[in-house]
Amino acid sequence: MPRSAKRALADSALVMKTPAQPANLDGKKADDVVHEGWLLKKRRKKMQGYARRYFVLHSSGTLEYSFEPGAATRDQIPLLQAAVSSTPGGRDIHVDSDRVTFHIKCLTQSDFELWMSSLRKFVITGSERKLSRASSAVSKLGNSLNTTESILVLLDDMGNTIQSATDLMLAMDEERKRINQYHHRKKDGNDNHNHRDGSVFSLFKKRSHSPGGHEDSTHFDELALSERMQKTLQKLHNQHRTLKASIANTSFPQTNAGFARHGLSLSSIADELEGAPRTTVMRTPPPSTWHANALPNRMSMSSASSIWYDANDDFGGEEFVLEPDEMGEGETNANSTMNSHNQGSAADMLEEDEVESVIDREPQHPTQIVRRNQLPSRPPGEEGSLFSLLKKSVGQDLANISFPVTFNEPLTLLQRTAEEFEYQDLLNQAAATDDWIQKFAYVAAFAVSGYACTKYRSGRKGFTPMLGETFEDIRVKFISEKVVHKPLLMAFHAEGLGWELTGTSGGKTKFWGKSLEIIPTGYTSLTMGHDKFEWSKPSSFTRNLVMGTKYLEHCGEMIIRNRGTGARCVLNFKETSYWANTTNAVLGTVLDSNGNVVSHLEGKWDEQFSQKLDDSHLRVLWRISPFPRDSVDYYGFTHWGITLNEITNDIKDKLPRTDSRFRSDVRALEEGDIQLAEAEKTRLEEMQRERRESGKQAQPKWFKQVDGSDQWIYKGGYWEERSLGWKSMNNWALW
């Protein structure tokens, strides 16, 4: 291997590899670690550049660093009391607290995304802070504001309310005066009657002073209360006028422009206050580096935790996005800062020279791609019972049964294959480590993580691809193609930093009366240098098909074999029993070539997967990413799954016409047009039938079968044809 390639792998290992033993800093447990790794930290004295330091982010929100893993902590910052800022297109992160500021630089753009994803669990963005404060203020008023005009309308309503209260006070005062006058007239009449009586016996009548005294006291209390209410109303009048004047003098266009710099507007804030869905902005590297960096989406490093830690209700820490021209001394170019080490050690200088090559290879301005975070439409209600369609086919393969489109989800089976690569950065970590046991552990974690997307899936099936249909995902340099019509078989291929994966996917589906069993066929082959791993999937079951809540369960044994060394990893997907305390459990062991157990693995395919270090310590290899807020109401898709059928600007002119994204039936279902989806599904199936009968059906373009076996390998050429705009490719009219 060339020296440059070895150096690149070493640098990658520097970024991704975790220590052999869990960090135990200041008595903190290893499983409290959200994220950790090497970063470049700006020295405290000027003109000394950056030095490599080992940073650890704990679940308490504390960011700390040391000279090396396990060493004494040098300093720390509670993120809930800090401000985190970064520059789009750069790899600098600034963590500022009242006491100290960390200026740190990530080694790669991929590492930057992972760290920012982790830090954001404990801080909120400036716009989110504004939204929180606005929401709090509006909740006190009992109204939700959609636009600036709504604020003025609300103020007018407040003014009308105050005026109504004032009018009511005046009316009450008039009524009180009228009643008092009536009582005075009545009292005067009684006094005159008493004087006219003139009887001597009137001198002996008992005089009662209490009614008159009580009446005078009540009258005095009413006057005092009235005066207080009038003063309060006058104060409200003054405050209302001041508030209205201040809003009228506010330059809203400028404010709106300020929000626009961060992708927000006043109307979007109003939408957020009403719980309306928003579109997220995901920054991803350009296509030229996607397969090298293998987009670290949804962070799943050894100590990475994708569990969302809510920010403090009192707004806690905050994130700021710096404009490129706001970069100051703390964001100077790496070439200048790395060369000025007046007091740095020789080891620090050597390590910084090594990581410099990594930084130079990374682009400085990644492409910004706006990806959706919600599907256009909710799924339709199922027309009829799935059980009624299956009850006559107990024990049979259901491949030949045509289901209504309402039983589908808006993804093809090719796209569902790509779903399993959401956590492909685990393969980057496996390729980066030289420890064969650790390598096995990461490969096993990747195999388990492929089931995470099925957490909320159960009753719907993906669309069956047409022969010759393809699907690509440039984020992981993934390509898949349907290569056999009956029995259904799809081939796929993906590449990353130091690894290459190929395989086939198919299966049989059988109904057993209450459960639907999916029996996978095919295999997965992973190559990392001289290591070649192979495995096949266990069965999956849809439970409670007749009655109750349907759910998906994966049961059986998965054996991952290293064909070169004979070592293997045995994963047991446990079936949930009636008395089981946990569900979806996966237990694993790593065995050497002699069959000796060298490591234990455990976890749940819908939560996390860990390597057991000893009786009381685990190393978390992978954690599931949070699902979208309304995932259950939108087919149970993950954030990754939501984007698979999306055509973004960076790919819309580069996709071949055979790509699944161009299927009209899938698109119609995604948009909620059930009648069109059903009609288009029938039309496409009829077109395929006509091609087959006329002998003009498509042939596999990108994969070839190995000597009549069940193995298919990638022939190559897809990405080269893509770069040429498919000029030499004869696209089949699949739809």
Task: Give the residue carrying structure tokens 């500022």.
Answer: 96
The answer on 115 and 81 residing in a single domain is yes
| Mean pLDDT of all residues in 566-594 | 91
Tokens, residue 294: 């293998």
674 strand-pairing partners: none
Percentage of the chain lying above the pLDDT 90 cut:
41
> For position 669, what pLDDT does the model report?
96
Domain stops at, among 352, 369, 386: 369
| Mean pLDDT of all residues in 96-102 | 74
For residue 402, what pLDDT band results from cuts at 50, 70 and 90? confident
The answer on 346 and 400 residing in a single domain is no
Are the beta carbons of 240 and 162 closer than 8 angstroms?
yes
- Residue 592 buriedness (CB in 10 A; 0-12 / 13-18 / 19+): middle
> For position 245, what pLDDT does the model report?
64
The answer on 711 and 609 residing in a single domain is yes
| Mean pLDDT of all residues in 293-320 | 43
Specify if 233 maps to a domain: no
> For position 254, what pLDDT does the model report?
41
Q: What's the CA angle centered on 62, arms 59 and 66, to 5 degrees?
A: 115
The answer on 419 and 314 residing in a single domain is no
Specify if 545 maps to a domain: yes
> For position 135, what pLDDT does the model report?
58
> For position 203, what pLDDT does the model report?
37
Min mean pLDDT across 59-73, 274-288, 600-614 is at 274-288
Query: What does the CA dihedral 186, 188, 190, 194 come to, rounded to 10 degrees?
Result: 180
Residue 277 has pLDDT above 60, yes or no: no
Tens digits of per-residue pLDDT, 430-477? 999 999 999 999 999 999 999 999 999 977 899 999 999 999 999 999
Domain count, the chain: 2
> For position 101, what pLDDT does the model report?
80
Domain stops at, among 322, 350, 369: 369
CA 714/CA 527 separation, integer angstroms: 13
The answer on 562 and 675 residing in a single domain is yes
Specify if 409 maps to a domain: yes
> For position 309, what pLDDT does the model report?
38
The answer on 602 and 545 residing in a single domain is yes
| Mean pLDDT of all residues in 613-619 | 90
Q: What is the mean pLDDT of the chain?
A: 75
Task: Give the residue carrying structure tokens 């670290």.
Answer: 296
492-513 burial: b if 16+ Cβ within 10 Å, else e: bbbbbbbbbbbbbbbbbbbbee
The answer on 384 and 364 residing in a single domain is no
For residue 681, what pLDDT band results from cuts at 50, 70 and 90? very high
The answer on 397 and 342 residing in a single domain is no
Tokens, residue 576: 């949930």
**Residue 341 vs residues 212, 337, 345: alpha-carbon distances, Å:** 95, 8, 8
The answer on 386 and 350 residing in a single domain is no
**Residue 414 vs residues 372, 534, 644, 700: alpha-carbon distances, Å:** 20, 20, 10, 14
Quick one: CA dihedral 685, 691, 695, 699, positive or negative? negative
| Mean pLDDT of all residues in 180-191 | 63
The answer on 526 and 394 residing in a single domain is yes
Min mean pLDDT across 158-172, 254-268, 364-378 is at 254-268
Specify if 666 maps to a domain: yes
Residue 257 has pLDDT above 90, yes or no: no
| Mean pLDDT of all residues in 369-393 | 78
484 strand-pairing partners: 489
Show the domain range for 716: 372-723
Specify if 730 maps to a domain: no
Percentage of the chain lying above the pLDDT 70 cut:
63
> For position 185, what pLDDT does the model report?
66
> For position 207, what pLDDT does the model report?
44
> For position 244, what pLDDT does the model report?
66
Specify if 276 maps to a domain: no
CA 44/CA 53 separation, integer angstroms: 13
The C-alpha R_g of the chain, in whole angstroms, comes to 35
The answer on 437 and 354 residing in a single domain is no
Higher-confidence residue: 362 or 626? 626
Domain at 496, CATH number = 2.40.160.120
> For position 661, what pLDDT does the model report?
97
Amino acid letter, 487: P
Residue 142 has pLDDT above 90, yes or no: no
The answer on 419 and 359 residing in a single domain is no
For residue 11, what pLDDT band results from cuts at 50, 70 and 90? very low
